Every structure is written in structure tokens, then in C-alpha cells.
């Protein structure tokens, strides 16, 4: 059984574990705070690689940021990551092959291989977290685009500059459908700068009508975006992943989407591959997947 | 040299001609008004098929409406076409193979094989006409989705119900980026129900500042949609086709898109495969394409 040393490199945390070619975690994942410079990140990777290099076949890294089509490097910089991150030569860190993929793409691949979109010819995965990530799978391939950066969920919800997006532009889906966006929607609707995402989530549990209205608006914005993606991709399913996905009702969204779209009905599902789906997906990609 | 009897079936007109495997038109296309019932449509097809059946290899039909993944039938009904259109058994009309594709998909394929997106791994084509059509090509394949209906440009420009779309929903891209939409934008900005698309086009030619503002708003709406598509697909190029494409400046749109997107720069181009690109594209698909 082939094995990967897997990493998930995010803006605040780095996880690492060992994963086999069936997608099984062979060690309890360990967690590091993401260092503030690239040397610190390299040291963490090198430490784990030194420890496991002789027993693994490949180093598999799920990372924030777009990954090139050769799966060797991050292209360009992303707001969440340390300066110069894209200059890291990951292959020089190990004598075993090093394989990278964008974290959302990797998580979408895990859902496709062992999770909620298993068997789907065409699927769209959205990670609803601090931001919104996207991973699109078409006919057994991740949609990568000309440079590897496809699947960015930065399409606009308004054409006329209302909310600034983390990408530097205005009114992207991320700015309305993320966890951060739920707070912004609450601030706007309640005219209260101090309201938090947790206030909204707690409020809907205790039957607070104002918080329910905020939450419904946020779910409606999520739904509006899925309608567009469903008309563009005609997918078998849309999988909702990430820390915020647990709060939404996929059936409510599915009914609204299917009542609106011009393509044939799609299925809205909550992700099932778990919290480490990014590492599982990139390990499966790096190891050649379940189908060998 | 193999040859196709090609048709382009639209809501108001049907065209037909003979096209060879290089995409060359061998006859001057002839035009019919689209009959008001499916028997009338079948009669037109049968008349042409009877005339040419012995000298052609395949019947290739570009049509309004989504076409199934087997390229044999139109799925569901579309607003532009006669009732029951999707029930037509096209294959029974000829003893030669009959091959169908959606008109925008077919036109995108023509651009990819002999036109503006030739050589592009990933391209998005938008037809700006009465409505907005879409054809997306990824790694030498048309994006068809689970049922064949992918590429519908019905993603929303606002989440809050402003303009009704031809599809029955609200605020789709088509309702802001089509020729019909240019008239609606003019009506709204000028508070004049009688203003026409031609008034706007004439106005910008004669330096009318009010008409220029309307036109700029319409181009901005087109651009907003392309930004989203560029972030989703990371395409080599976006090709603008259809009767309204001649009025827009692709460089202006390209500069605005590339200043906004998080993916790598894309190229915006005007279509070059001509007015009969739908018939050319479906003939090339039916004949197996230029590459044999």
C-alpha cells in the first residue's frame, strides 16, 4: 500500500499526517501555527519530511492559493499567505516527489473519490469558511484552467460596488456567502458593528426572529450563487463543505435552486469526507487515486 | 472530402447549407421562416434532406435549446421554440446519421476550430444577440454537464429581483448583457419606454452623451459577467459573438477584466468564424472535426 506524507497549509494553521492510497489517515494529524515567513514554513515541512521520508512514496501538499497545472508551485500571491510564499521550491525539500494542489480543489477531489460527490460526472464543491473556496470536477478531472487558477468563487453579486471583497475587488460571492459575510450581513441588517457570526448562529437556535432574518438573507445569497453555477455547469451535485456548511439546510437550498434554474435539477449535499478532506484529496491525487 | 447537410434552427429563422470537413460552405445558405409548429419544421428539414441526402455523409443541426449528451435530441422546451419541439425524432428524418448540438455550443466549436479561440485549451464564448448564449470549451471538449444543458448564461447580476429574465427568473446575465437588455437599460436610465437599441447605437456614433452613458452601463454589465467567468474558468480567451458583439471594444473589456480578476490575465476577442458559425461548428462536430 502506497503512502503520502500529507500537509494542509492555510493562513493560520498547518496540518500534517500520513495517508494511504485508500484515503485512510494512518496517524493523528498534527497541527502547527502557520509561521509568519517562508523560512518558518519550510522548517515545518522539512521537520516532518525528515521524520517520515523513508516510509512514504510522495509528499502531498494541499495549500491556500492557486497551484499551477504541473502541481509543483503556487502561482501568484494570495491575501491569506505570507509574502513570497509562491517563491518556495517545494520539490527541493524532499528527495521523494512533491505534489501540490489548491486546498479547495483537493477537498473537492476527496468528496469525489470517497465523499458526497462520489460517482458524479460533474460536481461543484463550495467551502463555506472564513472565505469561499471552489473546486469543480468535470469527467474525472479537476477544472484547472489555463494556469491552474480556475474555480475561484469571485463572481459578482452586485455590479455596483457595495461590499469590498478580500480579493481587492467588490461584491464577489465570497463577500456574501462566507462566514465573514454572515457577520457583515448581520451588521448591515441590524445596524450594529459589534454583532458576530456566533450571535447569529446562537440567535437562530433560540428563535430570535431578527437573527433568523439575517441568517435567511445569508442563505439566500449562497443560493443565488449556486443557481448561477448550476446553470453554467449543469452539475450532478453541489457539495457544501467548510466550517459554515453545518448550519445550512441543503434541502431548502436544493428546492430553491431547482425551482429557478433552466438546466435539469441538481442535488445539494453536505460534504462527508471530513475535516481533513484537503489532505485526503491531495494524497489521493498524488498517489494516483483510488482507481490506481 | 466528407460533407454535412447543415441546419441552424432558431426561433425566427432556419438556415441550411452544405459544409465540408474543413468547415467550408459549399452552397450559399438558404433561409426559411421558422414555422409555427413542429410539422412545419419537419417539412423544411425533410425537403432539404431529400434534395441532398445522396451526396452528404451526415445531417448536422445547430439548434436553439439544450441538446442531450448523445447529440440526438433537444431536452426540455425553450421559450424561443415552438411547442413540442423537444419531441421531434430528428434521426427518423434521414437515413444518414443526424447529429445535433446547441447553437451556441456549435458556434463556440467553430471559433475553436477555425476562428478566434483556435488553439485555446480553455475558452468561453458569449453570443450577444436577442439573448445571451454561452459555449465553453475545456481541453478539446464542449462543457455539456450531466444532461447536456451546461453553458447557460443565467447567473444573477443582482440577488433582489429587479429585471425579469426571459427564462422566467430574475436578473440573469442575459437580462443585462443582451441586445434586448441594452434597450431596457436605456429605458431605465432615460426614463423613456420608446427608446430603442438602434437609438443607442446611433447615439454613440453621433456623440450623444446620454446614449454613451447607457451604452457604457451596458458594456460594464457585460464586463462584470466576464469577470466572474474568468475567475471560474481561468480561460485563455473569451470570445464575443452575435449581432451585438460588433459594437463593443474588446480591448476596453479586456483591460477592465484583467484589472479585476484573481486568476491570470485572459484575452477578450471578437468572433471571426462568421454569421454561419453555428452550422460550421455542428458540421465539424458531426464530421469528426478538422483533426479527423
ipTM of the complex: 0.95
B231 touching A, CB under 8 A? yes
Q: Which of residues 104-143 of A touch B (CB under 8 A)?
A: 120-122, 134, 136, 138-139, 141, 143
> Within a 10 A sphere around the Cβ of A23, how many other Cβ atoms?
24
- On whether any CB of chain A is under 8 Å from the CB of B155, the answer is yes
Radius of gyration, CA atoms only, chain A: 19
Query: How many Å is the Cα radius of gyration of chain B?
Result: 19
The CA distance from A139 to the nearest CA of chain B, in Å, is 9
Contact A141 B139 (CB under 8 A): yes
Tell me the C-alpha distance between A195 and A185, whole Å.
Answer: 10
Set of cell numbers at residue A227: 443557481
Optimal mutation site among B77, B231, B264, interface A, most CBs of chain A within 10 A: B231
Establish if B153 touches chain A: CB-CB under 8 angstroms.
Answer: yes
pLDDT score at A76: 74
φ/ψ of residue A49, rounded to 5: -60, -45
Spatial strand order in the sheet of A30-33:
A30-33, A13-20, A3-9, A58-63, A98-102
Beta strands in chain A (DSSP E): 3-9, 13-20, 30-33, 58-63, 98-102, 122-128, 132-138, 141-142, 237-241, 267-270
**What are residue B144's phi and psi, to 5 degrees?**
-110, -25
Best of A67, A124, A159, A218 to disrupt the B interface (most B CBs within 10 Å) is A159
Per-residue pLDDT for A11 more than 50?
yes
**CB within 8 Å: B232 and A134:** yes
Half-sphere exposure of B116 (CA within 13 A, CB side): 21
CB contact under 8 A, B262 and A147: no
Residues of B in contact with A136 (CB under 8 A): 232
Alpha-carbon gap: A256 to the closest alpha carbon of chain B (Å): 11
Residue A233, classed as helix, strand or coil, is: helix
Q: Tell me which DSSP letter residue A160 carries.
A: S
Q: How is residue A187 written as a grid cell? A: 451588521
Which residues of chain B does A144 touch, with a Cβ-Cβ cutoff of 8 Å?
Answer: 234
Tens-place pLDDT, residues A79-110: 678 889 999 999 999 999 999 999 999 999 99
Q: Which residues of B touch A226 (CB under 8 A)?
A: none
CB atoms B158 and A155 under 8 Å: no
Cell of A35: 509561521
Q: Is the pLDDT score of B254 beyond 50?
A: yes
- Chosen for mutation from B143, B228, B237, B256 (greatest number of chain A CBs closer than 10 Å) is B228
pLDDT in tens, B205-251: 999 999 999 999 999 999 999 999 999 999 999 999 999 999 999 99
Q: Could you give the CA distance from residue A145 to residue B189 in angstroms, rounded to a whole number?
A: 37
Q: Which residues of B touch A231 (CB under 8 A)?
A: 152-155, 172
Query: Which of A40, A105, A43, A47 lies closest to A71, judged by CA?
Result: A105
Closest CA in chain A for residue B120:
A146
Q: Are A88 and A81 in contact (CB under 8 A)?
A: no
Rounded Cα distance between B147 and A126, Å, is 21
Chain A, nearest residue to B220 by Cα: A159
Q: Which residue in this structure is represented by grid cell 447580476?
A: B157
Chain A residues within 8 A of B256 when measuring between CB atoms:
none
Our CA-based measurement puts residue A226 at a distance from the nearest CA of chain B, in whole angstroms, of 9
The pLDDT, as a whole number, for residue B81 is: 82
Give the per-residue pLDDT at B220: 98
Residue entry with cell 435552486: A257
Cβ-defined contact of A157 to B152 (cutoff 8 Å): no
Distance of residue B70 Cα from the nearest chain A Cα, in angstroms: 15
Average pLDDT of span A252-261: 97
What pLDDT, on the 0 to 100 scale, is given for residue B78? 65
Backbone region of residue A63 per phi and psi (left: phi > 0; alpha: psi in -120 to 50; beta: other values): beta
Q: How far apart are the C-alpha atoms of A177 and B59, rounded to whole Å? A: 46
Instruction: State residue B45 phi and psi, 5-degree precision.
Output: -60, -45
What's the pLDDT score for residue B76? 74
Q: Please tell me the distance from the alpha carbon of residue B34 to that of residue A59, in angstroms, as a whole number.
A: 60
From the list A241, A279, A276, A242, the residue with the least C-alpha distance to A63 is A279
Q: Is the pLDDT at A273 greater than 80, yes or no?
A: yes
Q: Does A147 touch chain B (CB under 8 A)?
A: yes
Write the CA distances from A139 to A69, B142, B144, integer angstroms.
17, 12, 10
| B139, B167, B266: residue with CB nearest A262 | B167
Answer whether A279's CB lies under 8 Å from A5's CB: no
Q: Whose CA is closest to B120, among A122, A193, A147, A160? A: A147
- Rounded Cα distance between B24 and B257, Å, is 34
Q: Which of A150, A233, A261 sits opposite B263 (nearest CB)?
A: A150
pLDDT tens, residue by residue, B141-167: 999 999 999 999 999 999 999 999 989
Average pLDDT over residues A216-223: 98
What's the mean per-residue pLDDT of chain B? 95
List CB contacts (< 8 A) between B79 and chain A. none
Confidence of residue A292 (pLDDT cuts 50, 70, 90): very low
Q: What is the distance between the alpha carbons of residues A159 and A153, in angstroms, rounded to a whole number?
A: 15
How far is A281 from A71, CA to CA, in rounded Å?
13
Query: Does B221 contact A141 at a Cβ distance shorter than 8 Å?
Result: no
Whether pLDDT at B291 is above 70: no
> What is the rounded average pLDDT of the residues A251-277?
97
Interior CA angle at A262 toward A260 and A264, to 5°? 100
Q: Is A274 exposed, middle or buried (0-12, 13-18, 19+ CB in 10 A)?
A: middle
Q: What is the 3-state secondary structure (H, E, C) of chain B?
A: CCEEEEEEECCCEEEEEEEECCCCECCCCEEEECCCCHHHHHHHHHHHHHHHHHHCCEEEEEECCCECCCCCCECCCCCCCCCCHHHCCHHHHCCCCEEEEEHHHHHHHHHHHHCCCCCCCEEEEEEECCCEEEEEEECCEECCCCCCCCCCCCCECCCCCCCECCCCCECECHHHHCHHHHHHHHHHHHCCCCCCHHHHHHHHHCCCHHHHHHHHHHHHHHHHHHHHHHHHHCCCEEEEECCCHHHCCHHHHHHHHHHHCCCCCCEEEECCCCCCHHHHHHHHHHCCCCCC
Answer yes or no: do B153 and A232 touch at CB < 8 A.
yes
Amino acid at each position: 500500500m502506497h503512502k503520502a506524507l500529507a500537509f494542509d497549509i492555510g493562513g493560520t494553521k498547518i496540518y500534517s499526517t500520513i495517508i494511504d492510497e485508500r484515503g485512510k489517515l494512518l496517524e493523528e494529524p498534527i497541527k502547527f501555527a502557520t509561521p509568519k515567513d517562508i523560512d518558518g514554513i519550510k522548517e515545518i515541512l522539512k521537520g516532518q519530511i525528515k521524520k517520515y521520508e523513508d516510509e512514504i512514496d510522495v509528499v502531498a501538499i494541499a495549500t491556500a492559493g492557486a497551484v499551477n497545472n504541473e502541481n509543483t508551485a503556487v502561482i501568484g500571491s494570495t491575501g491569506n499567505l505570507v509574502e513570497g510564499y509562491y517563491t518556495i521550491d517545494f520539490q527541493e525539500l524532499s528527495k521523494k516527489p512533491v505534489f501540490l494542489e489548491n486546498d479547495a480543489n483537493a477537498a473537492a477531489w476527496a468528496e469525489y473519490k470517497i465523499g458526497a460527490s462520489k460517482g458524479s460526472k460533474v460536481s461543484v464543491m463550495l467551502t463555506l469558511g472564513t472565505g469561499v473556496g471552489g473546486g469543480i470536477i468535470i469527467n474525472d478531472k479537476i477544472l484547472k484552467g489555463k494556469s491552474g487558477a480556475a474555480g475561484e468563487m469571485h463572481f459578482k453579486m452586485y455590479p455596483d460596488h457595495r461590499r469590498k471583497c478580500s480579493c481587492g475587488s467588490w461584491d464577489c460571492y465570497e463577500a456574501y456567502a462566507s462566514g465573514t459575510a454572515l457577520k457583515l450581513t448581520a451588521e448591515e441588517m441590524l445596524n450594529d458593528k459589534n454583532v458576530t457570526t456566533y450571535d447569529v448562529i446562537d440567535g437562530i437556535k433560540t428563535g430570535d426572529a431578527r437573527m433568523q432574518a439575517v441568517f435567511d438573507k445569508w442563505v439566500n445569497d449562497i443560493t443565488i450563487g449556486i443557481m448561477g453555477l448550476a446553470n453554467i455547469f449543469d452539475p450532478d451535485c453541489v457539495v457544501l463543505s467548510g466550517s459554515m456548511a453545518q448550519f445550512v439546510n441543503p434541502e431548502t437550498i436544493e428546492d430553491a435552486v431547482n425551482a429557478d434554474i433552466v438546466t435539469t435539477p441538481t442535488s445539494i449535499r453536505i460534504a462527508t469526507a471530513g475535516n481533513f478532506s484537503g489532505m485526503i484529496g491531495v494524497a489521493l491525487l498524488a498517489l494516483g487515486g483510488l482507481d490506481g
